[in-house]
Structure 1
């Protein structure tokens, strides 16, 4: 019996729509949309925080003033330490870090920001302003323009990993699986990354088109884990 026949037989329109939605969901497979926004009431409060990497992109803009020019003190280019709070979601801690401002804008423009505000866990490999701006200007000039949206979506999506992958979890699971683990990303099928702990205590991320190294420790979040990379994870 078709949906139309069932509707004629007594099913109301809302019920028919619900049935259709279930059928479409089944056809779409397990892929679903962004999670619902995390409810802060359900998150256990904490005062624990870790300092995010220093804002080198601001310091690099300092230039000593030429003779006779107005003073240009170096202190103007100092940014106070930025903490990452473990009881706040990825979205809060990323938007609070001036060194991740370009990456934040890219995540928003690519359409992934709802994932970072949600109640599911993701692991984000955030790119500092310096490497991001160099990549945008030299390699992909239209990265942040409408014409580059599809590329941006894949580029950013490969740096948002599904699940909670802090350093202990990576090291433990990699040791059991031959030294590395494969993790899916929001870029979709064919864009999984391989996490490989190194002898220096950090983690190398192997993507479809190249590699990148994670800097320092993982930063716990209420809905996942935040890392900062040393450069761009290549994407073609």
Structure 2
């Protein structure tokens, strides 16, 4: 069946008797439509495992009690139900499902890397929460999301997308074999590899060309890689 679906997506001619029988399958599976690297859910083993993503602090912290001469501003308006990361879905799906990573998601899309996070090749993403990302955007790089800042944005986001599947056990195992740390290439290209260094506190430092961040938590398994939250912006 998988072979048949691939022939359908590639536009190959099928025997007439198979045509009608495959129409329903084609509707269910969908066609690539120019995004052939989009992860095919048929090739991913289903799983019921999900982990809660970080709370939307950027929204909760926006609450301010209304003064006596203002309209009521109930705190319940700033409560956001938890969102989850599903291990059988790609990085793109789980990133887009997190309100706390909305700014980072928008930056990944604008930088041109989004289609890679939809695909089957594995990447490790070091996402940044809305708070530090917005502070950096407003205070350090005001044109980050504008056309004038696109070249910088591409390198800036590229260094936070590591090539390959780097979960915590893999990082610790390979770092132990290489003297305590391991060098990993990023989408920013040559000269912008990062060093992953496990610490005595159980977390991992990410040492880039221009600075360091720390990964918070153990990471979220994805069907095409790993998703982490960084405690701040990785300087670029």
TM-score exceeds 0.5: yes
Matches of 1:35 and 1:188 in 2, distance apart? 24
Residue of structure 1 equivalent to 2:165: 164
Offset of 1:69 from its aligned partner?
2.1
**Which whole-Å CA distance do the structure 1 matches of 2:56 and 2:198 have between them?**
26
Query: What's the RMSD between the two structures over aligned residues?
Result: 1.1
Residues 35 and 119 of structure 1 are in contact (CA less than 8 Å); yes or no, is this contact kept in structure 2? no
Counterpart of 1:219 in 2: which secondary structure?
strand
| Correspondence 1:142 to 2:132 | no
SS at match of 1:94: helix
Question: CA, structure 1 residues 176+155, in 2 after alignment: closer, same or farther (shift >3 Å)?
Answer: same
Matches within 5 A, 1:67-216: 67-216=68-217
Offset at residue 73 of structure 1 (A): 1.3
C-alpha deviation, 1:200, in angstroms:
1.1
Mapped partners of 1:175, 1:80: distance in 2: 39
Residues 1:35 and 1:154: Cα distance change in structure 2 (over 3 Å)? farther
Q: CA deviation at 1:35?
A: 7.8
Distance 1:218 1:167 in 2: 7
In structure 2, how many angstroms separate the alpha carbons of the residues matched to 1:121 and 1:192?
Answer: 17
Q: After superposition, what is the alpha-carbon deviation per residue over 1:181-235, rounded to whole angstroms, capped at 9, x for unaligned?
A: 0000000000000000111111100000000011111100000000011110000
- Provide the rounded CA distance (Å) in 1 between the counterparts of 2:108 and 2:65: 34
Partners of 1:184 and 1:94 in 2: CA distance: 21
* 1:217 alignment counterpart: 218
User: Contact 1:35 / 1:114 at 8 angstroms: preserved in 2?
Assistant: no
Equivalent residues of 1:35, 1:115 under 8 A apart: no
TM-score, normalised relative to structure 1 = 0.84
TM superposition outliers: structure 1 runs of 4+ over 2 Å: none
Q: Which runs of 5+ in 1 are unaligned?
A: 1-33
> 1:110 & 1:68 partners in 2: Cα distance?
44
Aligned equivalents of 2:84, 2:171: Cα separation in 1: 23
Partner SS for 1:194: strand
Q: Post-superposition shift, 1:75?
A: 1.3
Normalising by structure 2, report the TM-score.
0.84
SS of equivalent to 1:120 = coil
Aligned partner of 2:228 in structure 1 is 227
Deviations 1:54-73 (A, max 9, x none): 11100111001101322211
